[in-house]
Amino acid sequence: MVDKLTAVRRTNVLTRVGRLTSEQLVEVERSLMAFLGLAR
């Protein structure tokens, strides 16, 4: 569950943990919009 959003520079990310499919990325974006109160 997301409690707080934080921006991280790409240069600070050393290794990838995994990859998301297009469908998973859409779900993440929808969840973030709902959390931020931007969803309709």
Spatial neighbors of 31 by CB under 8 A, at least 6 apart, are 2
Segment 13-39, tens digit of pLDDT: 999 889 999 999 999 999 889 988 898
Going by the DSSP 8-state scheme, the letter that residue 37 receives in this structure is: T
Half-sphere exposure of 31 (CA within 13 A, CB side): 11
Q: Which residue has the higher pLDDT, 3 or 32?
A: 32
Q: What is the pLDDT of residue 1?
A: 57
